Amino acid sequence: MSTSDAIRVEVTYAHTERQDVIPLTLPIGATLQQAIEASGLLAKYPEIDLAKSKLGIYSKLARLDTALRDLDRVEIYRPLIADPKEVRKQRAAAGKVMKKGGGPTEE
């Protein structure tokens, strides 16, 4: 495959301990799913389920059938452990109780 009929992409997966970044050369017209399958990450991390996992290209959500462009970065996202909205609510409630700053006020 010559460089004129190929694209270069990276497939990334951030595991809890480290991030895997797999550089690939694929034919023009390759899809997000083909890149992930070619990366070998599905065999390395059996917890990745393409039917359930959120996927993206440079932080923008994308579908498995999305055609890739040269230098795209394919990202496989892990499920969230906590709901970010709920965490913010809890932090805000704790901040109100602590009165932000925490120390006594001087007059």
pLDDT tens for each residue of 4-18: 799 999 999 998 788
pTM here?
Answer: 0.72
- 45-70 residue pLDDT tens: 999 999 999 999 999 999 999 999 99
Going along the chain from its start, the domains and CATH numbers come out as 3-98 (3.10.20.90)
Tokens of 95: 């901040």
| pLDDT of res. 87 | 74
Q: Average per-residue pLDDT in the chain?
A: 86
What is residue 23's predicted lDDT score, i.e. its pLDDT? 98
